[in-house]
Chain A
């Protein structure tokens, strides 16, 4: 009988490979489908990014296409469309970070302060729902509500006013995008803050109240510090993900708003590569995105460590 508890880790590690195999072969078998999936649909495409350094021709394939060093990146550098896409990505990401991020925190604080459980459950039921709707559906609902022929503009017209081009104005597009994101995900994003709020020791509030702290002082000195770790963690994840700003959301609205405002790095990759047939430029843009995203994540995480927060990757001691 071989034990598997960690208290006998030394004994376990001392086992020869053959004995481990005899003990664990069924577990290894269970891993195989997942590992095959990861190799084929994650690690193979990761390696496939080498087409960014090739003059890739589909009929030649990766093995026979010519290598051209950094030429694709040089081309990107000279391509104004790429810079537009990069600028839009950063702008939209910054607007999202500023305007979306605080909303679920605010909502969670209000919901947490509710005394009535019934009202709270009722609100949560409605607020979580849109998270499960597809982007196609969300954008469609926005179009039916705010579009040129949507019901808000219908009402405006019936009232004798000019319709407002909410859905097609490139200048206000970042605000539209944030509104859609808030509609879809602010309620859902609230969950994690609500969970963090339940861990706050109630006696802290009681003591503070006894010492004369009003509701705002309690919020500032107890509630917000309790949320600090979660907020930092989510902020880091958000920053690492910043360049992937809702891809489907943009591809769905690129036609109506125009690429000038709605082209982001991901849609640039899709239209240059898959639609335009310039595979290598698309892959180069995709790769540039991953590298910048990884740097941002790493930077944000180090900053969090510097501030004394655990961050996302725990430092090993």
Chain B
């Protein structure tokens, strides 16, 4: 409803607004659509269109079949899925425990909180991080992609702010009934915070799925490369996905293969996005920022 004090819309302003917002949205959507269409296009479509296809007139999933028949992509997906699932589980456990313990005035709560918040100010640096990971013997291990990301200070702040808003009386009454702190966390705090925990979990998962530099830094062994590094090597740097790696002769157009790699990196994000979007617009995140 238009409030009475607002001027009636002038067509000029309306047109400019629509142009800006519509243009911005198109610039985001079109490249993604072209990539998806090209990955589904047949060889003939690609040759006719001269490289990129806006709408595949003979859609085929040959590029995906080729991609998955070779060991390369299948392995990379397994690596990325493993890192994402295990990483998210560990990160959530660590973050929830720490956020709950520091959300109440308890022994060591204050100094530990300051310890976490201090990490927001700067990063320790690439070289010393590398040396620590090396000293721990984690080079060329998938744990090097998981453990250094096990606590995000921003996610910690989001959870802690939420936990602090759980009324103290509720916890008191549980304590009077004999509940321990562990029980309170498991039976009261976590069920009450399901939505925010889900959102933080998705933030972690997106982060683990998207992580690229850690893999570049810590992994030499190409068989342990996650999807993002494959994407960089075979699409961005244009190294050819040779028939041997793919195990199919003759391979389809390199263009559609490359675009299929892009889509593989994109799909998991696109799948969780509607859920993410529904929750963060409810103010879960901005509320935490303001607090």
A interface residues, Cβ below 8 angstroms from B: 1, 3-6, 9, 12, 17, 20-21, 23-24, 26-28, 30-31, 33-35, 37-38, 40-49, 51, 62, 107, 110-111, 113-115, 119, 123-130, 132-137, 139-145, 149-151, 154, 158, 183, 186-187, 191-192, 195, 202, 205-206, 209-210, 214-215, 240, 244, 247-248, 251-252, 255, 266, 269-270, 273-274, 279, 282-283, 286-287, 289-290, 293-294, 297
Interface pairs (26), CB distance under 8 Å = A4-B172, A27-B109, A30-B185, A35-B112, A41-B132, A41-B148, A43-B115, A43-B124, A47-B128, A49-B127, A111-B21, A119-B21, A123-B21, A127-B25, A128-B277, A136-B231, A136-B232, A144-B35, A144-B262, A151-B52, A154-B51, A191-B285, A206-B3, A247-B213, A252-B236, A270-B126
CB–CB B50/A145 < 8 A: no
Across-interface contacts of B27 in A (CB, < 8 A): 183
In Å, the complex CA distance between A158 and B49 comes to 10
Residue ID in chain A nearest B109 by CB atoms:
A27
The 5 closest A-B pairs by CB, nearest first: A48-B128, A34-B98, A134-B210, A45-B124, A209-B5
Q: From A194, which residue of chain B is reached at the shortest CB distance?
A: B286
Indicate if the CB atoms of A282 and B94 lie closer than 8 Å.
no
Option from B106, B116, B235, B283 in Cβ contact (under 8 Å) with A27: B106
- B261 CB to closest chain A CB (Å) equals 9
- Find the A residue at minimum CB distance from B105: A4
A173 to B101, CA, bound (A): 47
Chain B 1-49 interface residues, beta-carbon cutoff 8 Å to A = 1-3, 5-7, 9, 17, 20-21, 24-25, 27-29, 31-32, 34-35
Complex Cα gap A23–B181 (Å): 10
What are the residues of chain B within 8 A of A137 when measuring CB–CB? 210, 228, 231, 262, 265-266
Question: Which of B25, B93, B276 neighbours the largest number of chain A CB atoms within 10 Å of its CB?
Answer: B25
The answer to whether B168 and A4 have CB atoms under 8 Å apart is: yes
Q: Give chain B nearest CB distance to A238 CB in angstroms.
A: 14
How far, in angstroms, from A20 to B125 measured CA to CA in the complex? 37
CB neighbours of A123 from chain B (8 A):
21, 24-25
* Contact of B100 with A by CB under 8 A: yes
Partner of B150, one of A37, A128, A266: A37
- Is the contact region of chain B dominated by helix, strand, or loop, or is it mixed? helix
Does B107 lie within 8 Å of A30, measured CB to CB?
no
Which A residues touch B172, using CB under 8 A? 3-5
Query: Considering the chains assembled together, what is the distance between the CA atoms of A240 and B150 in angstroms?
Result: 24
Whether A4 and B283, one on each chain, are in contact in the complex, defined by CB atoms closer than 8 angstroms, is: no
Q: Using Cβ atoms and an 8 Å threshold, which residues of chain A touch B17?
A: 110, 113-114
Contacts of B124 in A (CB 8 A): 42-43, 45-46, 48-49
Residues of B with C-beta under 8 A to A47: 128
Contact with A along B159-180 (1 / 0, CB 8 A): 0000000001000100110001
Q: Quick check: A132 and B97 within 8 Å, CB to CB?
A: no
Could you tell me the distance between the alpha carbons of A248 and B126 in the complex, rounded to whole angstroms? 13
Q: Known: A28-B106, A34-B151, A210-B5. Contact between A195 and B286, CB under 8 A?
A: yes
Is B131 positioned at the interface, with any CB of A under 8 Å from its CB? yes
How far is B125's CA from A273's CA once the two chains are assembled, in angstroms?
A: 11
B126 and A205 contact, CB distance less than 8 A: no
